[in-house]
Amino acid sequence: MSRPYLMAGNWKMNKTPSEAVVLAEAVKNMKKGANTRKMVAPSFVCIPAVADVLKGSDVTLAAQNMASVESGAHTGETSVLMLKELGVTAVILGHSERRHVYGENDGLINEKVKLALSHGLEVVLCIGETLEEREAGQANDVCFGQLEGGLAGVSAAQMQNVVIAYEPVWAIGTGKTATPGDAQTVHEACRGKIAELYSASVAESVVIQYGGSVKPGNAAELMAQSDIDGALVGGASLDADSFASIVAFDD
Ligand code: PEP
C-alpha cells in the first residue's frame, strides 16, 4: 500500500489575517502530485479568514494547538468546539515549541490528542529529541516515549486519524536538517514502535512526516526515504514559492 505524502505548512505566529489570506490563496492554487495532500496551520486569529479562502478546496485546515478540555475557565485557551465550528479539521499537537517553551508534557498532550480524536479531528502528533538527547544516543528512546505517552488510550481504529511528525528539536528553525539517512533511521524505528503498540498494518498505514528546516533544496531527497511520508514545514512555508516547490517535490 502506498502512503500519501502530507505537506503541511505550520505558519506559527506569523502572518496577519490579511497576509494569511494571500498565502492561503497561493497554497490553494499550488500544483501537487496525485498522491500528495496539502495542509496549512495558521494562527488562531487567522483561521476564519483562511477558512473562507479554503472552503471547498483540497487543502486541509489545521490549528497549531488546542485546549485539553472543551470549555470553561481557561483564559487564553482555544476549544476544539470553536475550531470545529470554524471549519478546522486537523490539529498539530505536541509541537516542540509547545513542549519546550510552554512546558507541555506527554500527559497533557495525550489529553489533547484524545479530545481531538473524539471530536473527529485529524491529529498531527509531533515528536523529536533535543541535541543533548541525540548526542547521548537517546534519539529513538525519546521518540518512543513520546509516542507511548502521546498515544496512550488511542485505539487502533483512531490511528487512522493520526499523523506523526518527527521533528528533531535541533533541526527546527535552525537551518540544520537531519541527513535523509539519519531521519529515515528514526522514522523506521518509530514505525516499528507503532507496530509494537498496535499492529503491523497500523504501522504500515500511518503517515510519518519529517520536520526541521525542510526547504526546496532538500525536500525531494528526504521524501525519497521509504519511511518519510511528507513534511511539516515552518519557515519555508511562509514563502509561497518555497512552499510550492516543496509541495511539488516530485514534479
Ligand atoms: C516546524 O515548525 O514544525 C518546523 C519544522 O520549522 P522549520 O521548518 O522552520 O524548521
Q: What is the CATH number of the domain that holds 64?
A: 3.20.20.70
Tens digits of residue pLDDT in 50-94: 999 999 999 999 999 999 999 999 999 999 999 999 999 999 999
Q: How far does the centroid of ligand 1 lie from the alpha carbon of residue 123, in Å?
A: 17
With contact defined as beta carbons under 8 Å apart, do 161 and 188 qualify? no
- CA-wise closest residue to 147 among 168, 135, 164: 164
Reported as a pLDDT band with limits 50, 70 and 90, residue 190 is very high
Please tell me the total count of domains within the chain.
1
What nine digits make up the cell of 48? 476564519
Sign of CA dihedral 235, 186, 97, 146: positive
Tens digits of residue pLDDT in 201-222: 999 999 999 999 999 999 999 9
Is any atom of ligand 1 closer than 6 Å to the C-beta of 41? no
Q: How far does the centroid of ligand 1 lie from the alpha carbon of residue 236, in Å?
A: 8
Q: Which amino acid is at 198?
A: Y
Is any atom of ligand 1 closer than 6 Å to the C-beta of 48? no
User: What φ, ψ does residue 66 adopt, rounded to 5°?
Assistant: -165, 165
pTM, whole model, 2 decimals? 0.97
Residues known to be catalytic: 95, 167
Q: Tell me which residue range forms the domain holding 152.
A: 5-247
With contact defined as beta carbons under 8 Å apart, do 142 and 168 qualify? no
Quickly list H helices, the chain. 17-28, 47-54, 80-85, 96-100, 106-118, 131-135, 139-150, 180-197, 200-205, 216-223, 240-247
